[in-house]
Copies of this chain bind each other. A is one copy, B any other.
Amino acid sequence: MADILKLEKLAKLIRYWSLVSTTEAGSGHPSSSLSATDLMAGLLFGGAFRFDADRPEHPNNDRLIFSKGHASPLFYALWLAAGKVTEKEMLTLRKFNSPLEGHPTPAFTYTEAATGSLGQGLSIGVGMALNAKYIDKLPYRTYVLLGDSEMAEGSQWEAMEIAAYYKLDNLVGVIDVNGLGQRGETMYGHDLDLYKKRASAFGWEPIVIDGHYFPQILTAYEQTGRVHDKPVMIIAKTEKGKGVSFIEGRNGWHGKALKKDELLRALEELGPIDSTVRGEMQKPEDIKPEKPKAEKAKPLSYAGDKPISTRHAYGTALERLYPQYPDMVVLDAEVSNSTFAEIFKRTWPDRFFEMFIAEQNMVGSALGLSLRGRIPFVSTFAAFLTRAFDQIRMCQYSDSNIKFCGSHAGVSIGVDGSSQMGLEDIAMFRTILNSVVLYPSDAVSTEKLVEEAAKHMGIVYIRTTREDTPIIYRNDEVFRIGGSKVLKRSTKDVATVVAAGITLHEALAAYDELKKDRIFIGVLDLYSIKPIDVRTLTEAARDTGRIITVEDHFSEGGMGEAVRSALANVTVAIHSQAVRSMPKSGQPKELLDYEEISRKAIIKKVKKILKG
């Protein structure tokens, strides 16, 4: 039975700290925090939320995500009210090295995922709910606090539709409909019926409430437990700045901390605070998921005689490795017959999740899954991963463990044309802090690197090729993150061609052709673009005096620039072949020639360099 008087005291305490901490910081979002206070206090301390605060990693804890990450003062104040943040800590909000950052990050113990880029929290919740329902098979629920303005983000509607499709009745969204955005009224103000219609149309069960009236708030949370096969959206009418009359419902207060005199007025209005009141949270059932037993994966067994695409090898690797890495889950965006994630799906359908043509939600869901201990492998065309760059960007701030695979890299995909060509994906993934960027050239190295990715903790990107390419490596060859392979080397080398993926094969063909003219080149397979094998590159630079990088990717931010940065301390001429002309439809060979990254272009370049 919920003690409403106590909840009111807790809500007051939380409001107090939202205001005081932001005034102390001189910045922050108190008005956005005030509007959601009752909703959150009611959730955490009204009996619905089941969380062991001494064991935040307990696998059966409910999960709370602040999609409206700017309400971080509220988030931290909730945990103060739970007895887990001290008053002194609260006053460090936004200070350098404080775990209480401007928007929640994993520096703060109770942050599930870093948020702050709006419209991403519901997808993260989808991932956690998928994990609970279909993998861990635990009864924990995932709650996502949503702002009304951020419901304009299409990514939220991707999450809505996928959640309904997967019948995630363990997922609860709570929209704080305060009617005011950053610079004025939202599109719909307090038209709750509109949100209700949309939630229903997208297959959710809507519950409309007064977001400042505890009896309705508590009843709503209770009702969520009785809805089956559908996620629930609590649509709460609130006032931005609730509790402080001169802010309440007024435009112009977004992201504004109160000045000291304003704070005093506000605190006077709040009235006496019981500064010692603390809230209790229900504990979760102490059940753990079944830990899947790992078995050794079958080894590679390529005969080596038949060309096969690296995209196909990606699929066979996933399927082969799963028994050894049973935390793997595979997500794809309706192109699994192209990315070959379908090979995994056929054998392990319970660990494959079709995410439809909604890449943003796919990445957000992968983040949610990874934070619950899974190892997501996420695939689509390399070009379409750009659809989710903001979500990928946010993954780096969340201690995530996600493996991305972008297929159909480069102009060499051929006749489908430019819209389908991944030409900027290496650049995109290189910008991710501590990311690993891999570009295998044959099926063997692909499968080996997929396994390295599974073993690695962090964000990994694997770029795969559409075309079938010859097998270059033996089944027992070793590949490591940060490594490279010297495939051709002699004392007569006039240059080293550094390539990866499709252009590695072009380089090898160029080698054979040049050899006929008694011109020798080194050939280096730079399958690990990040981290990059500085040592081997340096040796090649020193030995041959010239480096020619060749990539099926735009020149900016790609392999060529990675090599230049790696060789910063070496005096060597570096020439970079990359995609520089407007890409178009054509046969792969025609396009590789047109973009001057083909064997012909490499030969021409080498001869030109030799002429001096």
Which residues does A use to contact B, with CB under 8 Å?
Answer: 25, 27-28, 69, 94-98, 101-103, 105, 107, 114-119, 149-150, 152-158, 161, 165, 181-184, 186-187, 194, 197-198, 200-202, 334-338, 342, 354, 356-361, 383-384, 386-387, 389-390, 393-394, 397, 415-420, 423-424, 427-428, 430-433, 530, 554-557, 560-562, 564-565, 568-569, 571, 573-576, 582, 584-587, 590-591, 594
Neighbour of A356 across the interface among B102, B152, B161, CB < 8 A = B152
Q: Which residue, A115, A154, A156, A590, has most C-beta atoms of chain B within 10 A?
A: A154
Residues of B close to A356: CB separation below 8 A: 149, 152, 181, 186-187
Residues of B close to A561: CB separation below 8 A: 556-557, 561, 564-565
Q: Which residue, A342, A357, A430, has most C-beta atoms of chain B within 10 A?
A: A357
Residues of B close to A428: CB separation below 8 A: 389, 424, 427-428, 431
Contact assessment for B360 and A584 in the assembled complex, using a CB-CB cutoff below 8 Å: no
A118–B194 Cα distance when bound, in Å, is 27
Neighbour of A358 across the interface among B102, B154, B568, B590, CB < 8 A = B154
Q: Which residue, A184, A424, A571, has most C-beta atoms of chain B within 10 A?
A: A424
A184–B335 Cα distance when bound, in Å, is 10
Neighbour of A390 across the interface among B202, B386, B560, CB < 8 A = B386
Q: Which residue of B lies closest to A563 (CB)?
A: B564
Contact assessment for A101 and B417 in the assembled complex, using a CB-CB cutoff below 8 Å: yes
A96–B583 Cα distance when bound, in Å, is 10
Contact assessment for A397 and B424 in the assembled complex, using a CB-CB cutoff below 8 Å: no
Residues of B close to A107: CB separation below 8 A: 584
Contact assessment for A418 and B397 in the assembled complex, using a CB-CB cutoff below 8 Å: yes
Residues of B close to A157: CB separation below 8 A: 154, 157
Contact assessment for B420 and A431 in the assembled complex, using a CB-CB cutoff below 8 Å: no
Residues of B close to A393: CB separation below 8 A: 383, 386, 424
A182–B389 Cα distance when bound, in Å, is 23
Q: Which residue of B lies closest to A155 (CB)?
A: B154
Contact assessment for B419 and A397 in the assembled complex, using a CB-CB cutoff below 8 Å: yes
Contact assessment for A565 and B571 in the assembled complex, using a CB-CB cutoff below 8 Å: no
Contact assessment for B149 and A419 in the assembled complex, using a CB-CB cutoff below 8 Å: no
Given A158-B153, A415-B102, A557-B556: A338 and B568 interface contact (C-beta under 8 Å): no
Q: List 10 A-B pairs, Cβ < 8 Å.
A: A95-B586, A96-B586, A96-B594, A152-B357, A153-B357, A153-B387, A154-B361, A386-B393, A433-B554, A556-B561
Residues of B close to A186: CB separation below 8 A: 356
Neighbour of A337 across the interface among B183, B358, B565, B576, CB < 8 A = B183
Contact assessment for A156 and B153 in the assembled complex, using a CB-CB cutoff below 8 Å: no
Neighbour of A103 across the interface among B357, B416, B423, CB < 8 A = B416
Q: Which residue of B lies closest to A581 (CB)?
A: B433
Neighbour of A96 across the interface among B97, B155, B358, B584, CB < 8 A = B584
A376 nearest CB across to chain B (Å): 19
A240 nearest CB across to chain B (Å): 14
Neighbour of A181 across the interface among B105, B116, B357, CB < 8 A = B357
Contact assessment for B165 and A590 in the assembled complex, using a CB-CB cutoff below 8 Å: no
A107–B418 Cα distance when bound, in Å, is 12
